[in-house]
Structure 1
Amino acid sequence: MSARKVAIIGSCVTREAFITENNPRYKTFYEIGPVGWQTSLVSFMSAPIPEAAASLIEPSESMNAHNTKTMRRDITKADRDEIRAYQPEVLIFDLYSDLRYGYIEYAGAYLTNNSNNLRKTDFFKAGAGFTKSHMVSAQADYLPVFKEKFDAFVQWARTELPNTTLVLNAFRFSSHFRIGGIDFNFVRYVGDTKNDKKWRAILRENDILDELYRWIAENYSIDVIDLRDRAYFADGNHKYGVTPWHFGRPFFEDFIASLNELMMTKRSDAPTVAEVFYRSDGTVL
């Protein structure tokens, strides 16, 4: 059996399931194609930023090549074009960037308000010519836009990726990390109360994620990998830092196991993305 073609729209909570450090044999089963890295679904389904307006968004010296590339792709919506051309068998997505970053509205389009790139630019720091919104601080403004773009995403997949299975990674942020066999709690940061407010915000973000997952389940028939009934530690030795969204290997092993199980149900006669998007009452989305 040949490896299944996989595309991703998301962040490390999904992408790191497909690295050999976490799943040494993943390449036997999955071929990783285009990755919409740290792009929000609001931005992914937006029109590209017009060229003249985009020329005003220049990378700063504090941005490395990877962050610059990520921002450029978000501006041009290259990820969407490449995923369409790739025609993956599976498109896995998560809501990390919609939750953590939010968006800016600029020149009639949307961009991910990414702290790793856009927020470092002189354009963003000048604070003029755009509006911004965030899922946590401005939920009443953000949610209608998110829901509109999510519906557009589902319809886009139906039309442009008719043989693709959509899979939502329904993750939650971890409350603990482990170093040297000792457990530490993000919410009550041991010996460092200055981070209490920061980590307590994680609890609110998890509540919002749960709300979004419920809304999606109530309105769309989409395959979900949901590991929320299990507790996972964040990786206390993660190369990109100890955070509630940098999971340890057990999470990604279970994620791949769940994906493998899901893929086993996708026989040649199984319904495709063009056939399964119905609400629970039988009406077509």
Structure 2
Amino acid sequence: MKIAIVGSCLTRDNFNSKFNANYKMFFECVAHQHQANILSLMSDAIPTHGQNLDKYTGFRLKHFRSELTKEFLEELSIEKPEYLLIDLYGDIYCGAIELGNGNYLTNNTMFKGIPVYDESNGKIIRVTDGEYFDIFKKKFNDFYKYVMSVTPKTKIVIVKNKFGDKLSSGHNLSKIRLENGIPIINVKKLNELWEKYNSFLINQYKFRFLDMTDNDYLLSDNHPWGKFYVHYTTNFYRDFFNKLQKIAVDDYSKKIIELEKSNKRLKKKVKFYENESVTHLIKRNLLKVKKINQLNNYIKGRT
């Protein structure tokens, strides 16, 4: 079953054998737009020439290149996944840089060293700024229309999530980061905004959602990518995977029910024709011939 992702490692890691060993038995991740926000994704593509991307390889190269080229949009139209999972990490955590003419770049510090990021003097806007929500609503609507135009059967699922701050060891992540001179976030405030944005999308577009906010998951002290606000202990990934499987199973159950209904209707038609008398069959076909002749006469009369 094909899935695509707009979001961060909190969603993408569920399709990595380090976290869910047997995920390939059920899902294939065919496209991923990593940590980009919706404002950037629906902006004009930026030429990669002169952006020093040749020094990167693998996942990092794909991440940086897709941020500029918006190639994810074409991948969606080609792959036509059954599910598109969206987590709004790129909007909530990163914010955006204004590039002018309604275009934006994700304000991700990992882009340091890329000229379009380093040399940008545009205004940085964040979800804590009132204007961000208005821009987001317009850009997301553009994105939704695009998805429906190129892959209308794809089901969009919002991943509801929240930042954590408590490690499995009992320590506080923000305290550790402060002690090491690493910037921290206002977990409570950003979680409130994340809920606001998720609720808007779910209510406005009637999207399904995968709720990971119903449990206070602990952050991992030994996560492969290090300690961070969305790097959880293993039970997070197990629960995520189970919830996604339930969504898929429910959908297939509905398809089976529809097929059974269709099959019953077909059986009724077959039974009718099997039991039809010869006299009725002749009358029915003569009626068809009569209608065809009437149509032909009508057409001849017009010419």
- The unaligned stretches of length 5 or more in structure 1 are 272-285
- Count of aligned pairs between the two proteins: 255
Tell me what 1:131 maps to: 123
More strand by share: 1
**Preserved contact between residue 45 and residue 149 of structure 1 (Cα < 8 Å):** yes
Question: Which residue number in structure 1 is paired with residue 146 of structure 2?
Answer: 156
The structure whose RCO (Cα within 8 Å, separation 6+) is larger is: 1
The percentage of aligned residue pairs carrying the same residue is: 25
Match of 2:5 in 1: 8
Shift of 1:132: 2.7
Shift in Å at residue 13 of structure 1? 0.6
Alpha-carbon offset, residue 243 of structure 1: 0.8
Shift of residue 55 of structure 1? 4.0
Instruction: Give 1:19's match in structure 2, choosing from 16, 21, 31.
Output: 16
TM-score normalized by structure 1? 0.80
Letter in 2 for 1:205: L
CA–CA distance in 2 between the matches of 1:200 and 1:74?
23
Contact 1:104 1:131 in 2 (8 A): yes
Superposed displacement of residue 125, structure 1: 3.2
How many angstroms apart in 2 are the aligned matches of 1:200 and 1:270?
A: 47
Change (3 A) 1:241 1:162: same
Equivalent residue letter for 1:88: P
Unaligned residue ranges in structure 2 (runs of 5+): 259-303
Would you say 1:234 and 2:219 are equivalent positions?
Answer: yes
SS at match of 1:234: coil
Give, in angstroms, the shift of residue 122 of structure 1.
4.3
Give the SS at the match of 1:105.
strand
Alpha carbons of 1:227 and 1:270: their partners in 2 closer, same or farther (altered >3 Å)?
farther
Q: Which letter does structure 2 place at the counterpart of 1:164? A: T
| CA shift in 2, pair 1:75/1:126, >3 Å | closer
Superposition RMSD on alpha carbons, in Å?
Answer: 2.5
Deviation of the 1:200 alpha carbon: 5.3
Report 1:69-80 matches (<5 A).
Answer: 69-80=62-73
Shift of 1:123: 4.2
Between the aligned partners of 2:167 and 2:54, the Cα distance in structure 1 is 33
Q: Does 1:268 align with 2:260?
A: no
Q: Deviation of residue 253 (structure 1)?
A: 0.6
Q: 2:173 aligns with which of 181, 186, 201?
A: 186
Number of the residue aligned with 2:86: 93
1:277 match:
none
Deviations 1:133-179 (A, max 9, x none): 2223xx2121111111112222222222111111111110112112x
Contact 1:23 1:252 in 2 (8 A): yes
